[in-house]
Amino acid sequence: MEDNQHDLLIIYTTKNGRTGAMVEPVRQGIIDGGANAIVRSVDEVQWEEMIHAQGIIVGTPVRFGGVDWQIKRLFDVTVNQGYPGPLAGKAGGAFVGGSRAGSGAELALLSMLHVLLNHGMVIQGNAFSSHYGPVALRDTTDEEMTAVCLAWGHHWATLVQRLYPGASGQPC
Amino acid sequence: MEDNQHDLLIIYTTKNGRTGAMVEPVRQGIIDGGANAIVRSVDEVQWEEMIHAQGIIVGTPVRFGGVDWQIKRLFDVTVNQGYPGPLAGKAGGAFVGGSRAGSGAELALLSMLHVLLNHGMVIQGNAFSSHYGPVALRDTTDEEMTAVCLAWGHHWATLVQRLYPGASGQPC
Amino acid sequence: MEDNQHDLLIIYTTKNGRTGAMVEPVRQGIIDGGANAIVRSVDEVQWEEMIHAQGIIVGTPVRFGGVDWQIKRLFDVTVNQGYPGPLAGKAGGAFVGGSRAGSGAELALLSMLHVLLNHGMVIQGNAFSSHYGPVALRDTTDEEMTAVCLAWGHHWATLVQRLYPGASGQPC
Amino acid sequence: MEDNQHDLLIIYTTKNGRTGAMVEPVRQGIIDGGANAIVRSVDEVQWEEMIHAQGIIVGTPVRFGGVDWQIKRLFDVTVNQGYPGPLAGKAGGAFVGGSRAGSGAELALLSMLHVLLNHGMVIQGNAFSSHYGPVALRDTTDEEMTAVCLAWGHHWATLVQRLYPGASGQPC
């Protein structure tokens, strides 16, 4: 990888496939926005990959209004090793697959963002789409889901390029 | 009003009519559940009505991921007068009208519940419906909206009867 | 155990001892309030104990603004088996041990309450103490921690007695 | 003002003086970090000033676990005029003055951040200090309050310089 590439690492887990289906359009949106994306499941992601990335996007199914326990374990155990510091200043974001309106999708999304903020990461809202990150519910059509994931992938690509301009790839 | 009546006070405001349309099915659900309901807009509600009620249900449109400022003013100014104490132990709940998935409806709902918890009120979740209170989004059909509001009205009636059994109407 | 006993099950885990130190004063407060309390660590608690209890109080250290992953796993895996339904209508609450002000203690507390609300449990705020549940931070003195835990234990005992009056112990 | 200046607009209100006392050390921290800061009360701030700033930092007292209603009104009414769009991509942040641990300071802080995210603003957490923004409680010493406000002012200055490098001052 060249130094001037902007890499976003997508870490995800899925329960019944809804969150998993969001990964590819998010990845495509990132590429469309001019950045690179690496995809890893919560089981396979390596700490070194997290350290190396300029941004981390986490996909989780809604589990009782919060993030999946395996995602939580990744941050509580693995990521805790170097805390505080190693993820500070990187771009961050989250996407969730849920069931109906009011079933906790936003709460799960925000819980994930809280973890990222805890690490000193930089997150951005979106005035023109789902405000805090892509959300797909049971009644969300494939078309709508794809559109919001593509839009947010592009949004995240723009953020990481803005945070890491030029070739150095060094955060401020 | 007789002493053994269980009264829920519904306070609401609406922006484009979506939250306002939820008031009647919520009220009907409360009656179906065997309790009484009084409906007041945020402009007309009296502090004495809040003190007298055995439960308070607040309806607010989503405004930037939070409750409407007029609802907030009601609690910051009017309700603040007797704080802490006067609302402690009463039943509480909230419902919201929002736009699309991920536009802040759950965050607004929870923000309202935080206010009620702050006053020592008792709130209940729902495992079988929208978990934290009724949510109606732009794409929610009238049928779905009515169903979730009726279910929650009934849910709240059950809660207030459980908290205030018998004739005395006195909280523990 | 007699049928007219009101049992609160305390489930907890601790990281560096701060949350663990809150368990005993919470338990004492519950007893002072006239209810019973059973204490189980997250590793030893049995699903049958959760089903049997009239209320569940969960203690967790703050982990990156959320609940400990082992607590989350308990709910995502074990408790998920009978969902929705088995915990509906029970009393619920949470307490957390954190570090400094602004380090995520309230967010972790609320995240836990979201899980309990998801299950249809009944929670109560407190106008006269820490509003959403006991919080102990690094600079909280033992005296303050004990006082808030005793107050909340008593508060939870009152709630469970109010929800389950008399001998039957049956929820509405 | 020259084009290459990085301006952060601090908007605040205060209830009993605690939040107001945080304004000056936040402003000083921003200057120490190499950016400019303009301070406006919620009553005097102009919409044009918000549009012009490269970042907006909002200070609010904790009011029942949420932001002060006057702050909410500013965003619900004034800022709503141009929504969505005008604040998108700007840096954002919040600080709060509260009472004791568990009295809603973090919830109020996050509620404010939700508003800013709704507008598409960019926010950053902090791994080395109060994680989501400066929090001052009743028992926070002046020394601690000043330290956390200075640190966050510097943190925000760094963020805005990173988002708006060079002279153009144009967001991506």
Q: Considering only CB atoms, which chain D residues are within 8 Å of B77?
A: 69
Cross-chain Cβ contact C127/B83 below 8 Å: yes
Residues of B in contact with D119 (CB under 8 A): 64
Q: Is the peptide bond before A84 cis (omega within 30 degrees of 0)?
A: yes
B48: number of CA atoms within 13 Å, CB side?
Answer: 0
Over residues C62-98, the pLDDT tens digits come to 999 999 999 999 999 888 788 999 999 999 999 999 9
Q: How confident is the model at residue B81 (pLDDT cuts 50, 70, 90)?
A: confident
**Residue D71 pLDDT class (50, 70, 90 cuts):** very high
Q: Which two tokens stand for residue A32?
A: 């469309």
Residue-wise over C101-120: b if at least 16 C-beta within 10 A, else e? bbbbbbbbbbbbbbbbbbbb
Tokens of D75: 């965003």
What sign does the CA torsion over D158, D163, D165, D171 have? negative
Please determine, for residue A89, whether its predicted confidence score (pLDDT) is greater than 50: yes
Is the model more confident about D81 or about A130? Answer: A130
Question: Does residue C164 register a pLDDT over 50?
Answer: yes
**What share of chain A has pLDDT > 70, as a percent?**
94
Neighbours of chain A (3+ CB pairs under 8 A): B, C, D
The pLDDT of residue C1 = 43
Report how far residue C162's alpha carbon sits from residue C123's, in angstroms, rounded to the nearest whole number. 12
Residue C4 confidence (pLDDT):
53
Task: Quote the mean pLDDT of chain B.
Answer: 92
User: Looking up tokens 């207030």, which residue turns up?
Assistant: B160
Mean pLDDT is lowest, of A113-117, C2-6, D61-65, for C2-6
Tell me the residues of chain C between 62 and 121 that have a Cβ less than 8 Å away from chain A.
63-69, 72-73, 75-77, 80, 104, 107, 111, 114-115, 117-119
pLDDT exceeds 80 at position B89: yes
Q: CB D133 to CB C100 under 8 A?
A: no
Tell me the three state secondary structure of residue C151: helix
pLDDT of res. A86: 93
- Can you tell me the distance from the alpha carbon of B58 to that of B99, in angstroms, rounded to the nearest whole number? 18
Q: Which residues contact B12 (CB under 8 A, 6 or more apart)?
A: B19, B20, B22, B23, B39, B40, B41, B42, B58, B59, B60
Chain B and chain D share a number of CB contacts under 8 A equal to: 70
pLDDT in tens, B15-26: 889 999 999 999
Which of these ranges, B67-81, B156-170, D149-163, has the smallest mean pLDDT? B156-170
Chain A residue whose CA is closest to D124: A122
Q: Prior bond to D61 cis, omega within 30?
A: no
Q: In the structure encoding, which two tokens stand for residue C58, read together? A: 């969960």
pLDDT of residue C16: 87
The answer to whether residues D147 and A146 touch, using CB atoms and an 8 Å cutoff, is no
Handedness of CA C135, C137, C139, C142 (dihedral sign): positive
Q: Which residues of D touch C139 (CB under 8 A)?
A: 139
**What SS3 state is found at D68?**
coil
Kindly tell me the sign of the dihedral angle through the C-alpha atoms of B66, B71, B76, B82.
Answer: negative
Contact A25, A146 (CB under 8 A): yes
- Between A98-102, A119-123, C166-170, D74-78, the lowest mean confidence (pLDDT) is in C166-170
Instruction: Using CB atoms, pick whichever of C102, C107, C132 lies closest to residue D130.
Output: C102
C75 contacts A64? CB cut-off 8 A: yes
Q: What does the alpha-carbon distance between residue D8 and residue D29 come to, in Å, rounded to a whole number? A: 11
* Tens-place pLDDT, residues D116-144: 999 999 999 999 999 999 999 998 999 99
